[in-house]
Copies of this chain bind each other. A is one copy, B any other.
Amino acid sequence: MNYFSSDFKLGILGGGQLGKMLLADTRKFDIQTYVLDPSEEAPSRIACNKFFQGNLMDFDTVYNFGKNVDVLTFEIELVNIEALEKLESEGVKVFPSPKTLRGIQNKGKQKDFYVENNIPTAPHKRFKDLKDLKIEVENAAVSLPFVWKSAEFGYDGNGVKVVRSVSDLENLPNVECIAEEMVPFKNELAVIVVRNPKGEIKTYPVVEMEFHPEANQVEYVICPARIDEKVAEKARAIALNVSEKFNHVGLLAVEMFQTKDDEILVNEVAPRPHNSGHYSIEASYTSQFENHLRAILDLPLGNTDSKVAGIMVNLVGEEGFSGQVVYENIEEILAIDGVTPHIYGKRETRPFRKMGHVTIVNEDITKARKIAEEVKKLIRVISK
């Protein structure tokens, strides 16, 4: 197949920042892209070959879009899977496959999958709705505290809540959910795996994640994670296993907990480029986006090693500001060596909205960490 400067067309469902960063690589390789997104202001509306506005959950919209492309991928899991299945049955290559996506989209199914495949994960129970969960809690069949997770449509901290008392259950939505045992952990880690249809597979180094205490969004991603080499090896091995068991094609971001006694438990996966891999644009030999593209096109995978240490700081909208965005002190951070801001192209900011990220690279990870704090203190995403 000739992808480069040819009539070949790649379709991308979703036109957010992940799609936008993927487009940097389709432009580099001159691969034609069609993008579908509900918003006419989607960050990916620029730099694709054709932009289509439409609902990603609507069968006809996704099906009709997919009929025009040769390979179809997505940058968000919340897409109409039935349309993907029909497209696949009609010969469109869909990567990751709808079958994999089905196993991931529902967190209950995803957890069952880990158990069935002997992949270490925190113990869980599935419930068809909140009512059923409440009954079990009352009967003490589920003991407090635990982590409640909505089975579907959770994203960026929505759909996850620590339940410490019965009253914490009151304001939760009455949807399919899971209750997960709370496991004390030292670190939240992630490993990005890339795998192509031939079965060639590679992992990126283990990264360490720090979450913002209120917004439950990642605040720093540190590559490589400052953990014991043996723990890192274990994490990479588990991530490889997860990708292979899912028969996954493309990127799979595997989020994990490192427990107090250095066990690795898989938390959840994302079948797409992931926030925990953004550092790779500046730090890695091959960015996660380029490797996603290579994988879904069944091209040889690129080197996932790092050239230098990388730290990523998310730029989220400051509390108390809504409206046309201003990046306060961006010139100050640009003056620091090894600092690269990525601005996603959303004109309107609002509290905790993901507006961009900043990558800090340095040969010395300790220096990078100090600079990351400096960057974090300086820059603010506010409104005019």
Contact = CB atoms under 8 A, between A and B. Distances in A.
Interface of A: 2, 4-5, 20, 23-24, 27-30, 43, 46-49, 285-286, 290, 294, 299-300, 302-303, 307-308, 325-327, 330-331, 334-335, 337-338, 340-347, 361
Nearest to A31: B343
18 contacts: A2-B326, A4-B325, A5-B343, A5-B345, A5-B347, A24-B24, A24-B27, A27-B345, A28-B341, A29-B342, A46-B48, A285-B337, A300-B331, A300-B335, A302-B334, A302-B337, A307-B307, A307-B361
A343 B27 CA distance: 8
A334 B5 contact: no
Given A49-B46, A330-B4, A29 B303 contact: no
A30 B344 contact: yes
Q: Which 4 A-B pairs give the minimum distances between C-beta atoms? A: A300-B335, A30-B343, A30-B345, A47-B47
Task: Name the prevailing secondary structure of the A interface residues.
Answer: loop
A343 B29 contact: yes
Given A2-B326, A285-B361, 12 more contacts: A4-B327, A4-B341, A20-B27, A23-B27, A23-B47, A24-B24, A27-B345, A28-B340, A28-B342, A285-B337, A290-B340, A302-B334
Q: How many copies does the complex hold?
A: 2
Contacts of A346: 5
A342 to B, nearest CB: 6
A28 B43 CA distance: 11
A326 B299 CA distance: 16
A80 to B, nearest CB: 28
B302 A28 contact: no
Nearest to A342: B28
Contact of A299 (B48, B285, B331): B331
A340 B289 CA distance: 13
A47 B2 CA distance: 22
A343 B28 contact: yes
Contacts of A338: 285, 303
